[in-house]
Amino acid sequence: MPEDFTEAINQQARSLQPRACIEWSLACIRKLQSKPEPPEQQALDAVEKWLADPSDANRRTAKAASDEAGLRTPAGCVALAVFFSEGSISPADKHDVPPPPDVTAKIAAGGIILAAVKDPANSAERLQTCLKLAPKPKTAAS
């Protein structure tokens, strides 16, 4: 039933605020991926740097790191999720263009799923592990 788990990952991602979704995706990727290649490590480092200092410069650095790592990698996905989490997606010297709604959740969830299916025989278990790492969504009463 990996499809059920992937849908649960997608639903959970959509229920979270962008920053929480990125933190969760990063935690899952770190848990599931033991030795990232250098471009992937740079993307993960860029995500951590943005989480520590969510400046526009760090957001754009995460985009550049995503481009290097590629979207076929979990690290490239979570770094791109950072770029789409806030601010303008147009070049810095152009008119501001906001990111499309829910794109951060979609890309961050994609990174989690990619990390899980790198070991196809254990993908269901790996997806379950990520679901256990998921933060609880914030409600209006929280």
pLDDT of residue 1: 46
- Under a CB-based contact definition with an 8 Å cutoff, are residues 105 and 19 in contact? no
- Under a CB-based contact definition with an 8 Å cutoff, are residues 16 and 135 in contact? yes
pLDDT of residue 138: 65
pLDDT of residue 60: 97
Model-level pTM greater than 0.85?
Answer: yes
pLDDT of residue 141: 53
Domain assignment present for 60: yes
Domain assignment present for 141: no
Domain assignment present for 138: no
Domain assignment present for 57: yes
Count up the domains in the chain and report the number. 1
Domain around 76:
2-89+97-133
Enumerate residue ranges in the chain where pLDDT < 70.
1-2, 137-142
